[in-house]
Amino acid sequence: MAGSGKTTFMQRINAHLHGQKEPPYVINLDPAVLSVPFEANIDIRDSVNYKEVQSQYNLGPNGAILTSLNLFSTKVDQIVGLLEKRSTPTEENKTPIKNILVDTPGQIEVFVWSASGQILLESLASSFPTVIAYVIDTPRTASTSTFMSNMLYACSILYKTKLPMILVFNKTDVKDASFAKEWMTDYEAFQEALQNDENGNAFGGVEGEGGGSGYMGSLLNSMSLMLEEFYAHLSVVGVSSMTGQGIDDFFVAVKEKSEEFQRDYQPELERKRNEREENKRRAREKELDKMMKGMSMATGASSSATPGGVQPPNDDDLDVISDGDDGDDFADDDEMDREGLQARYEAAMQGEDESTMADASFAKYIHTQRQG
């Protein structure tokens, strides 16, 4: 959320990895930021001019960020290819990178709920163990209502991205995050804090009476019950981006979630990828089948027509093949069966007969084969 210290946290984990002699590969995806306190290996601002996009398309701040991200996502294949090259040990690359840090746009809605954000995340997850770090402003989460709002937001992000998530309670130098961890593991502790907020008119109501209408307390109580299962799948760490406290715990959680990704998430991603490829293959086969049927109908119609509109002879007028004829004259008919056409079409599309396809269209290629 805004003001939670995402950029400062990014700077801290970047400096921590440099201190461990394991410099990360850093990607900045925020086109509107004026300056970043770390050096980015890939910066969206080098490819897309945010102000120019805003002016050219007559957009507001959020619309310009989203459009810039859409434009940048067209280069995602180049980005993933570069990352794969840098993370693979070779003779030229003797020190491959171990960590990739991605700083997302400041407006979280722009990244999480946009098609370009999903494309970037899925592209990264297809090649690397990918973990989401959701940064929370700990002092502002001290009230039960703000805490629950953050938890609901984290829940929606988890199920939208379908990737392992770490809750990072930032600014623990100002307020310790132990209360939040307790609320997530102890239902009665949250109920007690909720009751205190109600008695203190945190949800409105008549001064001195407390409790308000009771609607907010009942809603938060119900949501806390619902989120118990959600809490069980999260890693929670408290950090201070200013002092560096808890950064080691964060990277321990990253390692655990990376293993969880490979164990639980990667098989599902592979299944979805295979399903998409199978659907594409079926669609291509369906289109090919329709084309073959259309060509077969066109061939039948042209063979039944004669010059001058003369009707073709009936069956009684047809010549009969002699007993000595082995039927070789009809070998060409077998060339028009769907399997033969499909095999030659696929061979041609794969470049096995590039000279023929360079000289003529596919229809002419088929006609040439029939004549030959």
| pLDDT above 70: residue 14 | yes
Residue 133 is predicted with a pLDDT of: 95
Q: What is the pLDDT of residues 65-103, one digit of tens each?
A: 999 999 999 999 999 999 999 988 887 877 889 999 999
pLDDT in tens, 46-61: 999 999 999 999 999 8
Mean pLDDT, range 325-334, rounded to an integer: 46
CA dihedral (233, 239, 245, 248) positive or negative: positive
More confident residue, 238 or 214: 238
Statement: residue 136 has pLDDT above 80: yes
Nearest to 108 by CA among 131, 80, 135: 135
What is the phi/psi pair of residue 36, to 5°? Answer: -120, 145
pLDDT of residue 166: 95
Q: How does residue 350 score in pLDDT terms, banded at 50, 70 and 90? A: low
pLDDT value of residue 236: 93
- Per-residue pLDDT of 150-201, as tens digits, reads 998 898 898 888 889 999 999 999 999 999 999 988 888 888 888 888 777 6
Q: In the prediction, which pLDDT does 339 show?
A: 55
- Averaged pLDDT score across all residues of the chain: 79
Q: What is the pLDDT of residue 328?
A: 47
- Confidence check: pLDDT of 345 > 70: no
- At 59-70, the pLDDT tens digits run 998 899 999 999
Amino acid, single-letter form, for residue 103: D
What pLDDT score was predicted for residue 369? 55
Read off the pLDDT band of 202 (50, 70, 90): low
| Residue 227 pLDDT > 90 | no
Enter the tokens of residue 305. Answer: 């027509």
Percent of the chain with pLDDT over 90: 34
Burial pattern 45-69, b for ≥16 Cβ within 10 A else e, equals beebebeebbeeeebeeeebbbbbb
Of the candidate ranges 139-143, 144-148, 183-187, 228-232, the one whose mean pLDDT is the lowest: 228-232
pLDDT at 299: 67
- The per-residue pLDDT for 185 is 86
Task: Give me the phi and psi of 210, to 5 degrees please.
Answer: 75, 165
Q: How many helices (H) and strands (E) does the chain have?
A: 17, 6
- 113 Cβ contact list (under 8 Å, min separation 6): 160
Instruction: Report which of residues 114 and 355 the model is more confident about.
Output: 114
pLDDT band at 300 (very low <50, low <70, confident <90, very high): low
Question: What is the pLDDT, as a whole number, of residue 178?
Answer: 92
* Residue 106 pLDDT exceeds 60: yes
Task: Read off the pTM.
Answer: 0.70
The stretch 200-229 carries a mean pLDDT of 68
